Amino acid sequence: MLTIGIPKETTQGETRVALSPTISKQLIKQGFKICLEQNAGVHCCFSDKDYEESGAEIVDLKKIYQCDLIVKINPPNKKEVSMMKKGITLISLLFPYSNASIITMLAEKQANVLSLDSIPRTSLAQSMDVLSSQANLAGYKSVLLGGVEMGKIFPMLMTSAGTIKPATVVIFGAGVAGLQAIATAKRLGANVWVSDIRPETKEQVASLGGKFIEVGELNNVTTEGGYVKEVSTDFLDKQKEAVLEKVIDADLVITTALVPGKKAPLLISDEMVSKMKAGSVIVDMAVSQGGNCELSELNKVVSKHNVKIVGEGNLPATLPINASELFAKNIQNFVLHLTEGGEFKWDLEDEITAGSLILKNGDIFQESLKKITTVEPA
């Protein structure tokens, strides 16, 4: 029987927990033992009593890191890695290309490490895709945050004192977060314009009631795993020109563009912000990876050129109950995929296992990671 340990998240501003009481109860019925650190779910209104009633055990942190499997949301810090027993298995959002030193420490622990952000974005893996489940919530919340800062309402409103025009929302990127932002803004009554360089998104945008901003030559853009491959500066310049007219007229601009393993592309320059109308708002959902807006500041709301720029770096953590529930369900599906009879089966021919596996018994599994770590083969 595998023992799964759930520590309380230590990253500043993190309110989520990796496992909910509901999923804890289900995993226990499926043959696993669950141990949680005290108050692990306190920010989600999940009490220790809730977990104990699910059949889980509340233990101290030392015992957590002696479990067979550790499940976290954020990458472990050096102190947490130092507490782990040798041969432990870790599942978390690891972002390995940005955390080479942590990977090296985990290798010294002869750990098995699976990175949730490396799960292939395929139909089979959809139920395990924490990036998508969390991005859905982030896209929803981005519109609400923009509305709070905007100083006006989204829908058209006809009153005896006159008619208020609907707000204009411009969204960069029609991925999971962008599509949810479109749907949310439309439900609130806004006019929504959308820019994306992937040709297949045009139909998705239209299905949600958004209007697609044409850039041209979209058929030359290639994608991989649901993400755009890095595109030329020339193409991005053309995109900026195409959307500038809409951005200038916008009440709210939401940016969602990310390139895996790289700095987020710059889509909104200082000059573009200076041309926006006073009182408009930008919500930069890529701020934690450098930002799509030149003027964004991480975890701050700043005002530049009479435009407010929201740089909330962890939007899912502002909805900790739902975010934790979805994350936990993804984890349950992933753990069940990786195990059989309550033990790891380590099927390295399986694309989900092979795609997410970073370390196997302390050895680097992904060839591309060998260039950025100091891990020596065992």
pLDDT tens digits for 126-181?
Answer: 999 999 999 999 999 999 999 999 999 999 999 999 999 999 999 999 999 999 99
Which residue among the candidates 126, 207, 274, 303 is catalytic per the annotation? Answer: 126
- Examine the residue annotation and report whether 227 is marked as an active-site residue of this protein: yes
For residues 230-234, average pLDDT: 67
The percentage of the chain sitting over the pLDDT mark of 90, rounded to a whole number, equals 84
CA dist 87 and 110 (Å) reads 5
Which residue among the candidates 227, 269, 288, 350 is catalytic per the annotation? Answer: 227
- Examine the residue annotation and report whether 274 is marked as an active-site residue of this protein: no
**Is pLDDT above 90 for 345?**
yes
Residue 235 — very low, low, confident or very high, per pLDDT cuts 50/70/90? confident
**Topology (CATH level 3) of domain 135-318:** Rossmann fold (3.40.50)
Which residue among the candidates 20, 51, 65, 129 is catalytic per the annotation? Answer: 129
- Examine the residue annotation and report whether 132 is marked as an active-site residue of this protein: yes
Q: Would you say 304 and 296 are in contact if contact means Cβ atoms under 8 Å apart?
A: no
CA dist 63 and 35 (Å) reads 8
C-alpha angle 145/147/153, rounded to 5°? 170
Quick one: tokens of 269? Answer: 């320059």
Specify the pLDDT at position 218.
Answer: 55
Residue 229 — very low, low, confident or very high, per pLDDT cuts 50/70/90? low
Q: Would you say 270 and 295 are in contact if contact means Cβ atoms under 8 Å apart?
A: yes
Distances from the Cα of 155 to the Cα of 138, 163, 168, 170, angstroms: 21, 11, 10, 15
Residues carrying CATH 3.40.50.720, the chain = 3-118+320-363, 135-318
**Is pLDDT above 80 for 232?**
no
Half-sphere exposure of 30 (CA within 13 A, CB side): 19
Distances from the Cα of 215 to the Cα of 202, 229, 260, 300, angstroms: 11, 17, 23, 31
For residues 210-224, average pLDDT: 70
Half-sphere exposure of 209 (CA within 13 A, CB side): 14
Of 167-171, 184-188, 344-348, 369-373, the one with minimum mean pLDDT is 369-373
Specify the pLDDT at position 287.
Answer: 97
CA dist 88 and 65 (Å) reads 8
Q: Which residue has the higher pLDDT, 167 or 224?
A: 167
pTM of structure: 0.92
Q: Assign domain 3-118+320-363 to its CATH architecture.
A: 3-Layer(aba) Sandwich (3.40)
Specify the pLDDT at position 376.
Answer: 61
Distances from the Cα of 312 to the Cα of 54, 92, 177, 298, angstroms: 34, 21, 14, 6
Which residue among the candidates 132, 204, 332, 356 is catalytic per the annotation? Answer: 132
Which residue among the candidates 50, 66, 117, 121 is catalytic per the annotation? Answer: 121
Of 77-86, 287-296, 298-307, 367-376, the one with minimum mean pLDDT is 367-376
Residue 221 — very low, low, confident or very high, per pLDDT cuts 50/70/90? low
Specify the pLDDT at position 102.
Answer: 95
Residue 312 — very low, low, confident or very high, per pLDDT cuts 50/70/90? very high
- Examine the residue annotation and report whether 121 is marked as an active-site residue of this protein: yes
CA dist 315 and 67 (Å) reads 30
For residues 275-292, average pLDDT: 97
